[in-house]
Amino acid sequence: MPNQSFHANGKLLLTGEYFVLDGATALALSTKLGQSLSVEDNSMINWLHWGSYDENGKMWFWSGFEFKTLNILDTSDKEIAGRLQIILKNIQKINPKLFKRKKGIDFKTELQFPRNWGLGTSSTLIYNLAKWADINPFELLKMTFGGSGYDIACAGAQGSILYQISNGKPQWESCDFNPIFSENLYFVYLDKKQNSREGIARYRELVKKEPELIEKISTLTNQFLTCQTLHLFEEIILAHEEIISKSLQVSRAKTLYFADFWGEIKSLGAWGGDFVLVTSDRSDQETKEYFKKKGFDTFLKYEELILNSSE
């Protein structure tokens, strides 16, 4: 088998969080930072070696598996190895031919962003492994982590997408989300990692499938896409945030941490952690300084993080 390499983009869900599960149209953004996977033969018979490296090139996880049975032979972290084993065994179920060979394989993953940022460590892994195995990444996602699948669509997209689940199947199309006021948009990392599955469980517990709310979210998504002024963009953010906050009975990030901020704050994906989108009509330096004084040091300009299809 010749050496192979794959790359997947990270993701941020700008609109439709949670409601995308019930058919709302969501606006999702692919990020410039992602994860790569390289695969090559090794000289060990019936041995699968796995090495995961962070954005600084430091190995943060390794494991060895018996290639045909996928039994864990040795590892730096049993819990992570167990989750990886589940993914590999599901790949084996779908495409057993991959594991009927004498030579072993070395897998190497390399992240371009810190693992705790929530940009898609798992989704980029699923996407890359599915590409290696020549299987449907959405099928693999369903068999492993679950979720709406927007992150899988972002992994292979060249920019922003409109994403919807229709009749139980994912549908998406590229869209040109590149607001003329993008220099007024920033991303701030809250450093409060959220469990997406717990967030989904809360949504399922509290929110009944309401066509009216789903339609409202979809309408706001389209308004985000066509909005031409920062002021209107902020109004749409507030309307979207109020729907999610009321539905989940969770306070907004702005209410909790940034009540005195002059712009708007929008949670992204699982509410309460990871990144928020920030709007500001003041200078980069003044805006950055505000968040730094609040103890939030990871501050990125929109164009630093978001992949634009025109680039």
Q: Which has the closest alpha carbon to 291: 208, 203, 187, 210?
A: 187
- Confidence tier at 199 by pLDDT (50, 70, 90): low
CB 9 within 8 A of CB 31: yes
Residue 272 confidence (pLDDT) above 90: no
- Measured in degrees and rounded to the nearest 5, phi and psi for residue 147 equal 110, 180
Across the range 188-202, mean pLDDT stands at 72
**Residue 84 pLDDT greater than 60, yes or no:** yes
The answer as to whether 154 is a domain residue is yes
Give the CATH number of the domain where residue 271 resides: 3.30.70.890
From the number of C-beta atoms within 10 Å of its C-beta (0-12, 13-18, 19+), residue 184 rates as: buried
Percent of the chain with pLDDT over 90: 76
CB 60 within 8 A of CB 185: no
Domain range holding 240? Answer: 182-305
Q: Are residues 151 and 263 in the same domain?
A: no
Calculate what percentage of the chain has a pLDDT beyond 70.
Answer: 92
Angle at CA 198, nearest 5°, toward 78 and 87?
40
In a domain, 217, yes or no: yes
Residues 46 and 65 in one domain: yes
> Is 310 a domain residue?
no
**Range of lowest pLDDT (116-125, 196-205, 275-284, 299-308):** 196-205
Determine the Cα–Cα distance for residues 197 and 146; give it in Å rounded to an integer: 8
Question: pLDDT grade, residue 70 (50/70/90)?
Answer: very high
Tokens of 20: 């995308």
